[in-house]
Amino acid sequence: MKKTGALIIGGSAGSLDVLLKVLPQINRHLDFPIIIVIHRKQGADSLLTDLLTHRTNLKVKEADEKEAIRDGYIYIAPSDYHLLVEKNFTFSLDYSEKVNYSRPSIDVTFQSASDVYGPSVVCLLLSGSNADGVNGLIFAKRNGGITLAQDPSSAQVAYMPEQAILKANVSEVLKIEEMANYINSLSTNN
């Protein structure tokens, strides 16, 4: 099995509930980082980080400019900034125009991570009400990455994963209760 470079999880409306169910079951010895991009209102930064910190054994932090990306961490995209992965495996924060009415944009992070990690990237798109992330999934798949979508029947807002399935030809569709085992299976530390 090839080593997973990074797992990027994107979501919007209804995705936080999924994360709160899945993250407590994630193996604390992951040998790759998890990068989470969620559409949210500005100013709720520390609340989200604190909430997720109390639900997982992994270290959770908001991504900082020029920060080195480390295995076994969960990074959260700051509100109102696009989060990019740079060739030297650091983060870059970008305040350019919104993409799909969103900043951070899931597409931006999926694409930049796919550029850097290539076929070792895994991108998962969760519940949400717009198509942000779909183009990023298409890009990741073209680069040889694994693309995943939440089963729309389990999503609070099915539009985002439905669009992923319709347009991005995702590698696999996962029910919420399957996600933690799938993520844990990506680690060579099991």
Instruction: Put residue 37 in one of left, alpha, beta given phi > 0 → left and psi -120 to 50 → alpha.
Output: beta
- Tokens found for residue 88: 């030297």
Name every residue whose Cβ is closer than 8 Å to that of residue 176 and which is 6 or more positions away in sequence.
18, 21, 22, 150, 151, 154
Residue 45 annotated in active site: no
Choose, from 12, 105, 154, 187, the residue flagged as catalytic.
12
- Tokens found for residue 36: 């989470």
Residue 39 annotated in active site: yes
Choose, from 82, 114, 120, 132, the residue flagged as catalytic.
132
- Tokens found for residue 78: 């700051």
Residue 12 annotated in active site: yes
Choose, from 15, 39, 107, 120, the residue flagged as catalytic.
39
- Tokens found for residue 44: 């709720």
Distance between CA atoms of 147 and 127, rounded to whole angstroms?
15
Name every residue whose Cβ is closer than 8 Å to that of residue 29 and which is 6 or more positions away in sequence.
72, 187, 189
Distance between CA atoms of 131 and 42, rounded to whole angstroms?
21
**Catalytic residue positions, numbered:** 12, 39, 132
